[in-house]
Amino acid sequence: MHLSTALSRIAPSQTTAMTDRATQLREEGRDVISLSVGEPDFATPDHVVAAAKAALDAGQTKYTPVGGTSRLKQAAALHFERDLGIKVPASQVTVSAGGKQAIFHAMLATVSEGDEVIVPAPWWVSYPEIIHFAGGKVIPLHTHAKANFRFTAADLEAQIGPRTQWLMLNSPGNPTGACYPAEMLQGLAEVLRRHPRVMVLSDDIYAPINYTGAPHATLASLCPDLGERILTVSGVSKSHAMTGFRIGVAAGPEWLIKAMERLQSHSSGNPCSISQAAAVAAFEGPQDFLADWCERFRARRDLVVSAINAIPGLSTPTPDGAFYCMVDAAPLMARFGDDKALALHLLEHGVAIVPASAFGGRDGFRISFAADEATLAEACSRIAKAVA
């Protein structure tokens, strides 16, 4: 084996690894409910599927510009303005193979050996790994259930140092569901104004899935004066149930968009041409079903939260957004050892979840409740039996 120094710094993604393991067990005939991956179970909307078929029939099967077709860049600019309140020209938008690739390219393009990136914890599994791969140093900003897993302006200020390059902001957040209201973001902006070197990667992929009743708030819309140092990442995977299409979009300063596209020209080239046509339909077509889906997620959230809180030894706060619950299982650790052992035990009992340690947390696990209510109820009853 001749692994590079950069690869040696990272581990495989535990969300995708657990999902692959659950799929493998199912293929072997085992009855496993997978609540490990964040993937809406809803069917991709018909008009999106029709657009993909039409693109195939029209022979749109060739290379496109590296950063996406101008049609999709315009549709994405429409999305940023209409849905997130961020007014950008198409030249400040790029398209990648999922939001994950946009984040990967943004970090590789800007983080040098020893640069620091502040990452609120619990975090999405891939943030620290991408930063480590780029040679950066992860500065964890720990958040707690009793504060709705949110950090304050003072918490942020305490972590900023001379090497701070980026702050990762993810609202609604994976895996905690944390949502930052406008006034908290304004407070963070005050700190950022005092530290002009620090950039912000605002990962807004879960924007439409917000249960707070307040409209989605995002830094680039609230503080246009900081626009030159904010990269906002969005996409269609979670909002439009299009995970397999692999389309993410990002809006930010032109120099950064160009740098990301320079990298993409050597990594994957353009995102899939058929998927790009489908994403145009997603951004330009009807959006009214999104509120409907959000209500269905809310019902599932309520079911899971009350079922989990009824199980002795387990507890979870009620998430404000996205479709994940962070379950605290600390009282069970004396019996199970650690959260990885508990995850394996639950898998033996037919439920796949992801241990909290994958997200920089501990003594618990993440449930993705993007499944129908009958499946979620059955999963919670299996979890109850498994830990009884």
Q: Which is nearer to ligand GLU, 159 or 245 (CB)?
A: 245
Q: What region does 150 belong to: left with phi over 0, alpha with psi -120 to 50, or beta?
A: beta
- The residue with tokens 């007014």 is 87
Stretch that binds ligand GLU, among 120-128, 152-160, 178-186, 327-335 (CB under 6 A): 120-128
Q: Which of 148, 169, 142, 205 is nearest to 359 (CA)?
A: 142
Residue of 9, 10, 16, 74 interacting with ligand GLU (CB under 6 A): 16
Closest-approach residue to ligand GLU (CB): 38
100 binds ligand GLU (CB under 6 A): yes
Residue of 174, 176, 221, 232 interacting with ligand GLU (CB under 6 A): 174
Beta pairing class for 364-368 and 324-328: antiparallel
Q: CA–CA separation, 275 vs 332, rounded Å? A: 44
Q: Which is nearer to ligand GLU, 164 or 176 (CB)?
A: 176
Pull the structure tokens for residue 73: 């860049």
Stretch that binds ligand GLU, among 13-21, 104-112, 303-311, 339-347 (CB under 6 A): 13-21
- The residue with tokens 């990667």 is 201
Residues 359, 122 contacting (CB under 8 angstroms): yes
Stretch that binds ligand GLU, among 8-16, 143-151, 182-190, 313-321 (CB under 6 A): 8-16
Number of residues that bind ligand GLU (CB under 6 A): 10
246 binds ligand GLU (CB under 6 A): no
79 binds ligand GLU (CB under 6 A): no
Beta strands (DSSP E) in 27-176 are: 33-34, 93-96, 116-121, 137-142, 164-170
Q: Which is nearer to ligand GLU, 90 or 123 (CB)?
A: 123
Tell me, residue by residue from 122 to 151, as one string, x for binding to ligand GLU by CB under 6 A and - for no binding: --xxx-------------------------
Q: Which is nearer to ligand GLU, 16 or 315 (CB)?
A: 16
DSSP string, 57-100: HTT--S---TT--HHHHHHHHHHHHHHH-----GGGEEEESSHH
For the bound state, the minimum distance from the C-beta of residue 127 to ligand GLU, rounded and expressed in Å, comes to 10
Residue of 9, 10, 13, 377 interacting with ligand GLU (CB under 6 A): 13
Q: Which of 64, 53, 128, 129 is nearest to 97 (CA)?
A: 64
For 376, half-sphere exposure in the C-beta direction (CA atoms, 13 angstrom radius) is: 24
Q: CA–CA separation, 318 vs 173, rounded Å? A: 13
Stretch that binds ligand GLU, among 12-20, 21-29, 302-310, 343-351 (CB under 6 A): 12-20
Stretch that binds ligand GLU, among 119-127, 208-216, 267-275, 308-316 (CB under 6 A): 119-127
Interacting residues with ligand GLU (CB under 6 A): 13, 15-16, 37-38, 100, 124-126, 174
